[in-house]
Structure 1
């Protein structure tokens, strides 16, 4: 009888340790298709919450699908941590704990009864250690969906959208890509390419669903209709030739940038390799090389000098 009680208690403890919810984190550099990916995940059944999203703009007329509350707290954290990558242990710093608690309270209040939920904000790439700690505390298991886009197109999109400094935009793509690959190792994750998402969106989402065991609608035809209505090819203004041999020969990109993009694409092609220690070792080597060659990156882009108005 005593052994049966002990066995029952052990089973109960094991059940209590099981994650109550699945949290879906959309990762990847801004201007990489994260908004379309997030909307697609929502069509699949990922709950994005009932709070306000930041408003669409001319830059992104279809919408960003970024939770305003999470985004604003990320910005407050960024006001304290002015450089990337964030210092080790930052999630436990006194000046960050307030925002960590606010995020945790918000997640508990908004998503505790949602079996599968998620959010998107490119700043999440910078704060994965913080979010891992929060999700552990709220008994949610992270599921990472990463998207990769040619850095040439990301930089072009940054310049066209916000007139950002070209080198800063490239370094931001490089660092956020490295952080998304490095800090998700060992977790449930999948990486997709920009071309895969926009050219074959239904198949891309199905692969995400199968890899991460996420919801999939019974009516695929309806999902396809939603995707066809939402995705506007006319908004894809920067699409470089994806001839990888030509990409390797470009003289306007350094070898480390080329290697990172090509490595990300290897992860797209092979989930087994993407999850391997060998893949992680290559990411880590590129990350350490980045720190050695470039150091930290200011969170805000450098201000461009304003040209004088014509008299």
Structure 2
């Protein structure tokens, strides 16, 4: 039996979790070891714990900064031939074969996967799995608002992160069968979009999937809604961001697919030319963040020392001395005042 892996690719806070769950409604195996829901994603992340751990270890191998890896505008280069990466890839291949070889259709999601696409593409090829992709798109301003609330990332940075996430490996991503999906359109018309997913991927249709998705996709999953025109009235936002969103939206509605794909390739080339500048920006931001962390650490240290000092006997003695000094000054003033009155 041929095994098909559907990779759910997209930027943070752009609906990848919801789309992964919808693929489950269509019959894709999502695995049995999933990350628990959390406050910032109460309906679930639908991320496989083991694949998540491999992505985290890949992040560590590449020298990225822990959970802040995705806040860099430019994804790291992945040395596929290095011993550490080769060893991790062997582990990934073993996980894929051991857990999903018997599944005709299965899916996994982690926003890191789009940035680490060369690694996972090679692992899936070695495992003998057919690769399909679902590229989840959300308006960059909606993504930016969500990141501002959750991570306190300014809008001007978020929209660049959004564009870089899609453009960095675009030619490689687009070389595989894919379907682009707009998150807002899924919330509005789940049956239509799931049917489109099923048809484009070749995933067998389940009639119950539409109703299951409708119940799952709660109205409160979308806190903001923007139109394409909102970007055109923002001269402070890079044309690279605006044009990337326009091209992706064309792909999401199957409008002139060849032209939209060619436009994305052109935008990828433009992004690649900007990489030296973006890397310099990343370095400056990283320095600022480090200094901010160092300052916060010093402030915490000063606060702790002050608390210990205030709790010490010496400090209590000094406080009593200060009180006695104030009392003595007050008494002296009163005595001087009474003498002045007596001399009159």
Q: Same fold (TM over 0.5)?
A: yes
1:155-170 alignment runs, 5 A limit? 155-170=144-159
1:171-210 alignment runs, 5 A limit? 171-179=160-168, 181-210=170-199
Equivalent residue number for residue 13 of structure 1: none
Name the CA distance, whole Å, in 1 between partners of 2:249 and 2:50: 33
Farther-moved stretch of structure 1 (36-45 vs 225-234): 225-234
Quick check: 1:43 aligned with 2:29?
no
Q: Unpaired segments of 5 or more residues in structure 2?
A: 65-71, 304-344
Equivalent residue number for residue 222 of structure 2: 236
Number of positions where the alignment pairs a residue of Structure 1 with one of Structure 2: 286
Q: C-alpha root-mean-square deviation of aligned residues, in Å?
A: 2.8
Change (3 A) 1:210 1:275: farther
- Among residues 43, 60, 63, which one is paired with 1:62 in the alignment? 43
Name the CA distance, whole Å, in 1 between partners of 2:264 and 2:139: 20
Structure number with higher helix proportion = 2
Equivalent residue number for residue 325 of structure 2: none
Farther-moved stretch of structure 1 (297-306 vs 108-117): 297-306
1:60, distance to aligned residue in structure 2 (A): 0.7
Q: Deviations over 1:257-292 (max 9, x none)?
A: 111111211222336525876345323323324414
Name the SS of the counterpart of 1:173 in structure 2.
Answer: helix
Name the CA distance, whole Å, in 1 between partners of 2:132 and 2:255: 14
1:1-311 alignment runs, 5 A limit? 20-51=2-33, 53-81=34-62, 82=64, 84-87=74-77, 90-179=79-168, 181-217=170-206, 220=207, 222-240=208-226, 242=227, 244-270=228-254, 273-274=257-258, 278-295=262-279, 297=282, 302=289
Structure index of larger Rg: 2
Name the CA distance, whole Å, in 2 between partners of 1:50 and 1:166: 36
The question of whether the paired residues in 2 share the 8 Å contact of 1:168 and 1:302 is answered with: no
- Which of the pair has the greater relative contact order for Cα pairs under 8 Å at 6+ separation? 1
Name the SS of the counterpart of 2:168 in structure 1.
Answer: helix
Q: Unpaired segments of 5 or more residues in structure 1?
A: 1-18
Name the CA distance, whole Å, in 2 between partners of 1:234 and 1:277: 32
1:167, distance to aligned residue in structure 2 (A): 4.5
Change (3 A) 1:109 1:66: same
Q: Deviations over 1:123-163 (max 9, x none)?
A: 00011111111111111111010011111111110121233
Name the CA distance, whole Å, in 1 between partners of 2:258 and 2:123: 25
Name the CA distance, whole Å, in 2 between partners of 1:290 and 1:265: 23
